[in-house]
């Protein structure tokens, strides 16, 4: 029971990182240069 409570934040963090990775192609949130580059690709 306690183990499940401890694992849940780790699972949520992993899902969040996976979502960021899918959106940006990077494991860290996009820097200004990356977001500017992706915006220019959308045009």
> 2-11 pLDDT, tens per residue?
888 889 989 9
For the entire predicted model, the pTM comes to: 0.45
Contacts of 25 (CB under 8 A, 6+ apart): none
Distance separating alpha carbons of residues 20 and 7, to the nearest angstrom: 20
Give the end-to-end CA distance of the chain in Å, rounded to a whole number.
Answer: 50
Express each pLDDT in 7-40 by its tens digit: 998 999 888 888 877 877 765 655 556 555 556 6
Residue in the block written with tokens 């996976």 = 18
Longest dimension (CA), the chain: 50
């Amino acid at each position: 029971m306690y183990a499940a409570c401890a694992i849940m934040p780790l699972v949520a963090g992993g899902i969040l990182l996976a979502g960021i990775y899918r959106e940006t192609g990077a494991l860290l949130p996009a820097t200004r240069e990356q977001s500017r580059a992706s915006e220019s690709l959308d045009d």
